[in-house]
Amino acid sequence: MADFDYDLFVIGAGSGGVRGSRMAAGYGARVAVAEERFLGGTCVNVGCIPKKLFSYGAHYSEEFEDAAAYGWTVGEPTLRWKTLIDNKNKEIERLNGIYRKILENNNVRLYEARATITDVHTLDVGGETVTAENILIATGSWATVPDFPGNEHVITSLEAFFLEDLPKRALIVGGGYIAVEFAGILNGFGARVTQLYRGDMILRGFDSDVQTHLADEMRKKGVDLRFNENVASIEKTGDVLVATLEDGSTIETDRVLYATGRHANTSGLGLENVGVEQARNGAIVVDDRFRSSVPNIYALGDVIDRFQLTPVAIGEAMALAGNLFNGQDLDMNYTNIPTAVFSNPSIGTVGLTEDAARKEFGEIDVYRSVFRALKHTLTGSEERTLMKLIVDKASDRVVGCHMVGPDAGEITQGLGIALKCGATKAQFDATVGIHPTAAEEFVTMREPVSN
């Protein structure tokens, strides 16, 4: 390794890249990382963190309304959008600084430049030639906008975090988690939101009860949610955007946000120079140890398109660093990964959907509860919470937990531990609930609704 400048050169200083760099350096490796955009990657800058901050802010409109039922007199609320953007930017800058300090404190050399692979051990980093024994690609993913007339007028989630003004009307195209999250966010801040999805139901791959329940709740809150519709073209007339749909109808709006997918961020990395194999969607193909088709070049996180989740990228990075530089034999376990969607109301899910469980186990018991949260017994809100458990009948093991409702992500994190430990329904039943909470419903459901 002494013949090279570095033992590990990392392209991308997002969550996976920084964790891999820090861990490898901690094991004694000589490490450098290149980042051409911003430290912290998508999650910190244009993903998880600002999205959650926006989600918090969007809920205040409902909180102001609910306060009256609890004796509070609240004046007419006024939104200062610029204050939100400024405060969000300050927090992101603070986090950027933390990531920089992490690298500095672990003696990781940071190149704030684009890195291109020129051969299996050599990179061009901002015009400087650098060599490395191992190369790790952790460049994440980027929003995809389909090609159609007028697509230059749309924005993605990347630009949505920097809007100078809140649009009065917004058209959101897509049915995945980013689309439903921004529908709830913009609707909560006061925009009139229309969401189009070309399929029959939002959130493909989620449990069917979760899908339908969230769709109903979104419509209750005023989102104009439409299925089997898609945009054919967009024209701009003055400040107004006119979207013509495939059925010939039109929608006038102030902003069009596309959330129709993401692609691996691999363009211009020089992968073709060394023959790194890529999937049809551009993702880098790796084995169970994150090794690409070139033995000393590795990849992890969104760029390999397994699970596009920050904690997954971090886990992959820790396994890779341990295997390469600490003599460990680590695999990344992708079973029972808890997931949250910060829609309104939010989703928490871990384990199998009902359909997947039936295919895998055959006979299952399904427990489901839909109820109005205690808080809303005074507010009169029609919002309903959904909770669902799926149990393998033969072993009594709980194989799926799903929730739609306030704090779903916070509650599901604990359920993720239970499923990881192989908890049974009998053990759920033996657990004393915390009363009065919504979470206690997960340990008080006794009668299956189907099997």
Helix axes 177-189, 48-58, angle to 10 degrees: 40
The CA distance from 253 to 245, in Å, is 13
> Which structure tokens are listed for 9?
């050169």
Does residue 376 have an active-site annotation?
A: no
Question: Which region, left, alpha or beta, applies to residue 222 given φ > 0 means left and ψ of -120 to 50 means alpha?
Answer: left
The CA distance from 411 to 403, in Å, is 9
The CA distance from 427 to 228, in Å, is 43
Using CB atoms within 10 Å of the CB of residue 447, give its burial: 0 to 12 exposed, 13 to 18 middle, 19+ buried.
exposed
> Which structure tokens are listed for 233?
């073209």
Nearest to 289 by CA among 277, 303, 299: 299
Residue 190 CB contacts under 8 Å (≥ 6 apart), including other chains: 61, 79, 166
The pair phi, psi for residue 431, each rounded to 5°, is -85, 130
Helix (H, G, I), strand (E, B) or coil at 283: coil
Nearest to 384 by CA among 392, 375, 395, 393: 375
Alpha helices in 292-353 (DSSP H): 310-325
> Which structure tokens are listed for 192?
């009139």
Cis peptide before 311 (omega within 30 of 0): no
Whether 44 and 99 have beta carbons less than 8 Å apart is answered as yes
* Amino acid type, 211: Q
Whether 264 and 302 have beta carbons less than 8 Å apart is answered as yes
Whether 297 and 276 have beta carbons less than 8 Å apart is answered as yes
The CA distance from 8 to 242, in Å, is 50
DSSP secondary-structure letter at 327?
-
Nearest to 40 by CA among 88, 94, 90: 94
Choose, from 153, 263, 376, 435, the residue flagged as catalytic: 435
Could you list the active site residues?
435
